[in-house]
Structure formats: C-alpha cells, structure tokens
A and B are shown apart, each in its own frame.
Chain A
Amino acid sequence: MAKKKVFSIGSSLSAGLEETIAAAQNYSGELRIDVIPIKKIEVDDDNPRDLLITFHDLYHGIPEADTHRERKLEELESLQSIANSIKEQGVINPIVVYKQGDIYKLVAGERRTLASILANKNDIQAKILDGRPGELKIRMLQWIENIERADLSLWERLVNLEKIVNAFAEKKGIIPNQVTITDLSNLIGCAKSHAMNLKTVLHADQELKQLIATNKIRNLEKAALIVGIQSKELKRELISECLAGATFKRLKVLALQDNVKKVMQKTIEKRGRQTVAVNFGSTKNIIVAKFILDSLLNNASLSHITPHFKNINFTDHRSIAETFKNLIKKLEKIYA
C-alpha cells in the first residue's frame, strides 16, 4: 500500500501569509498620509510650543507692539532657511497631525508648517493619526522628529527628554527619579553610556542648568563630567575652563584631581564581625616568646605578681603559652 501523502503549505509562503496578516492588524489605520490644507491646521493647546511666533504673525505680520517682537524676528529668520529648502524640495518628512472635527491638530512639525506658510504653500503632506495620541507617544514623536535637526541645542533636547521621562514615569506609576538608564536607552534608542550622561545632566543643579539653557554649555559629555565633580572648587574651575573653550580631554584631566581626593577620603571598612578581643599574634620562635614574657615580667609595676611566674619552662611552647595566659588573667583581675 502506498504511503499516505501529507501536504502542508511551504514555509516561505506560510511565513508570508503570517507576516502580511500581522502587519495589516498592527498598522491598520496608522499609515494614512495625505496632503492637507494649511489653513485647517491648528496648534494643539495641550502641547506646549517652543516657538513664540504664531500662524497669525506669519499671515498678518508681527505687531509693532508685540512684547516678544525681537525673539519672534529671530525665529522668523531661522524659519526662512527652512522655507527656502521647502520651496526647492518640498517638505521631505510629512508633519504629524490628528483630526478633530474639521480641523487638524498639530502633533509634530510646527516649524515645517510655519516655514511652508513662509514659502507660500497652501497645503502640506501630513501623517494623519486616528485621534489624539497619549502623552508619552506625543513626546516620543517630537523627540524622533527632532533627531534629524542639527540645530537643536542641548537644552532643547533636555527639555524634551525631561517631558519624555515624566510621561514615562507617569505611565509606569513611578517617580521620574526612578526612571533608570536602561529605561532611557530603550525609550530613545541610544547607547547606555549616552543615556547615563543624559540622566546625569537632567539632575544637574540650577546653576549648571542655567548655563545650558543660555547655551553657554552646549556639549553633553562636558556637562555630564562637570555634574559628576564632588569638590565645589574643582567644579567651579572646570566650569570656567569649559566656558573658556577647554576641550573635553582637558576637562577630563582636571577632573582626575577630584578622583584622587576621593580615594584619600575613602575610609577602609573592615569586613566580618566586630572585634571584641585583642589577639597578640603568635610565633614559633621560643626565644622571641621568652623575650616578650621576660620583658613583661621585668616591668616594675608588675613586681607583685612576678613571684608567681618563677618556674617557666622555656623549652616548651605550650608551657610558655599557658604562662602567658595566666599572666593575662592576673592582669585582667588587676585592671578589671
């Protein structure tokens, strides 16, 4: 009788079926990219903005009386260069919005949108999310959007990162301080060493943060190094060297001084149980033992007990040890 033929679907076709279904299920509704009119885009009020200049300013000009006029004019200048590139290439990365009724609320891409207005565009490519995403997702999206930007300062990155850490902590039900280096490196996809530097600087003191906020200190590694310095004077020295333009290498050399002090100040802790008895050590040498015992017994203040120790056999270790023990017992009685 012929062997019963068994058929099954080939492995690569099988895998293909599986992958396709998984992708359809996981990404359903998430890859909607369309061109939307800029006039229908609004800033999300729950999303604090980093720019002061508004859509209105771009359409109608910055009012003379505007208190932030100077800062807005600076922002306008930086937007102009993006606008020029948009005129040439268009917006390469679609902005991210979510639909609310007839309006699109901005999640990420404010600069691109404002620059598009400057470039006289009426519409813009957008990835349209289904409803407002959660806080953590919004912060992550903003972070990812900004990774491409070379002009983003250390401060701007830290501000975004702090929001990510807070949102993550809230989601996990822990306090922000408890967010670990591993958490951070997984969230933003960076090496642990980088995450360590970021976490260190996030917890810098006010003075250092102020220096970063005003762009006086712009380098993450230098900032992290400075935060780690224990000694106040050394820290001050490093800061002034850093502001004067010292290289990271130079700062590292300076920082070593802190380490040396640290080693000296470190107290050596003993391991094990607390010692409550004094052990005078041991020796195999009878002559040494005799010398020590004789020295003790010849001590003037011990003259009243030396008669008890007349016949010591100095050839036998045990006998010497016994004698010593007796001596100690007698002394303990005297000095109780």
Chain B
Amino acid sequence: MAKVIVNATHKGGEGKTTNSIVLAEYAALIKQFRTLIIDMDPQANFSGRYIKMSYDPAYQGGKIPPLHPDYEPDVDKDWDGRSGIANIFYGEEVIPYPTPLSNLELAPAHSVKLQEAEAVTKNEVREKVHLQLKRFLEQPDVQKSYDVIIIDTPPSKGPLTIAAIKAATHLIIPAQMEQFSIEGIYGMLQLWKQESYCRTNDNPIELVGILPNQIRNINIHRGFLNDLRNKEFTAKYVLPFEIKKRAVYTEILAENANPKSIFDLPENSSERIEYEVACRYIMERVFNHG
C-alpha cells in the first residue's frame, strides 16, 4: 500500500507547504521513492514550485495547471490539455505532471475548481467531496505507480482538508510554538480524533507528530515547546527535533533561487542536516510503522 502523508493545520504560515516540499524532495532525491505530490491548496504554491502554473483568464489571481506535456490537441479531442487534482470533484481524469526531479510527479492545484469544492455547503454534496480523494488514491493504477504520496492542504478545516485526512495513512502537523499555533494544533487534533473513530485497526490514521517549526531562541518558543514535550499525552506526539527559523528555508522557495533545494546544500551544512534528520525520522516512522 502506498503511504499517504498529509501536512495539515488550519493555521496559515506554519510551514505546511515548505514541509511538503522538503519531504517530497527527500523522498524522491535521497530515498529514490516513486513520489506523487498533491496540491490541495487553491493558493497553488506547492504546484508553482515544480511546474509553471498559468493565470486563470476567467478569474483574476487564480492559477490553473499549464498544458500537459503529453497533450496532443489533434488526438485528445475531448480534453483541454489541463489536469489538476480538483478534477476528482468533477468526475474528470487526473493526469499527473512530470517535474524537473525524476521520481517526482505532481497533481497540481486549480484555484477556482478547488475553491468551489471548498465552498460546498450542502451536507450530501459535502460527503461526496470528503471521500473523493481517498477513492482516487485507492485506485490500483495509483497504488502501483507510487511508493509515497505527499499532500499539501490549505489553511482551513473545510472539505479539502477533510478529504486529505480521509485519504491519509499518516498525518503531520507543522506548528510554530506560539499561542495561535497551539490553538491550531488543538483544532487539527480534533479532526484527527474524529477520523480515528471511523478507521479500522488495519487501516489507521497515524499521527506522525507535531513538527516544531520556525523555532527562535526566545522564551515563548522554548516555554511552549517544553510544555508540550513534558505533558504526558502530547509528549509522544511531538517530533523529537525542531526546525529553526532559518533564512535558507525561505530562500529556496524563491523563483530563481540558488540553491534551489535543501538537498543542493553541502551534506555537512547545519541547515541541511537539521531538516534532513527530520525527514529521515519521519520517513522511517511512516515506512516502519505497524
């Protein structure tokens, strides 16, 4: 069974997308896993890193996937050449895009279509949205094509995040050690709890852990982190390392960045080591669990 790792928290700016990027590149480059990345965020940042997203002509600011490299207008008569993950909500095919990294394929976002799915309010329709991603990923074609699937989610608790959680085998909650972030952790734990209730013992949703992120050496960060580590119930769910707030983690996201990836840094650089240790631990948990 392909592992499905979801980065989720409804607070924005915690590091979901960055973590998805680093973890995906670790899986594809270092571990050589066949990796599928899925961008469920209408902001489409995750997608934009690997393919050149187009601006939606119909909706200002919204992004849509570019024409697929395999698109042949003469042959593919009933396809417009674009295919994002949001297609699962419209009964259309999802055709992953290749990326500059071998072993890494992407099911990109489509801002408007994802936003429409997020805005679904009627109960019966919402239920359909919730299970769509799970159904898609359970398909034999998908299962046999990839070892690991990494999903980035929007900062929300809506149908898109829930769809990701319902499809997940593993959940990571990136979080800063600040008041609103801790409250965000609480909200995400609620979703995890609800989902746990419905799973069977042979198909659990494992909480890999809370990833202490963007840590600075200030009292509040230290204080909150220690608090979480010392409490009996949360202790085992806080990952045993921290990602410090470093310029390089945001620099690698820039369009013309050099280095482009954490893994372009020298192997002994402290920034690379810090995040690579985290990735190694996470991947080991995911693959050796149970």
Contact = CB atoms under 8 A, between A and B. Distances in A.
A185 B234 CA distance: 35
Nearest to A7: B223
Interface string B200-237: 11001001000000000001101110011001111001
Given A18-B234, A28-B197, A29-B201, 11 more contacts: A8-B223, A17-B185, A17-B233, A18-B232, A20-B186, A20-B189, A21-B189, A24-B192, A24-B196, A24-B207, A28-B201
A32 B190 contact: no
Interface of A: 4-9, 13-14, 16-18, 20-25, 27-32, 130-131
Contacts of B200: 29, 32, 130
Among A9, A21, A31, A131, the one with the most B-chain Cβ atoms within 10 Å of its Cβ is A9
B196 A27 contact: yes
B186 A28 contact: no
Nearest to B203: A29
Contacts of B228: 9
B219 A17 contact: no
B198 interface: yes
Contact of A21 (B201, B219, B220, B234): B234
A7 B225 CA distance: 10
How many residues of B sit at the interface, in one of the four size bands?
A: 20 to 34
B88 interface: no
Contact of B193 (A4, A14, A20, A29): A20
B199 A21 contact: no
B198 A32 contact: yes
B231 A14 contact: yes
11 contacts: A5-B219, A6-B219, A7-B219, A14-B227, A14-B231, A21-B189, A24-B189, A24-B192, A24-B207, A31-B197, A32-B197
Contacts of B189: 17, 20-21, 24
Contacts of B220: 5, 7
Contacts of A16: 186
A30 B201 CA distance: 9
Contacts of A17: 182, 185-186, 189, 231, 233-234
A9 B182 contact: yes
Contacts of B207: 24
B183 interface: yes
Contacts of A6: 219, 223
B199 A29 contact: yes
Contacts of B186: 13, 16-17, 20
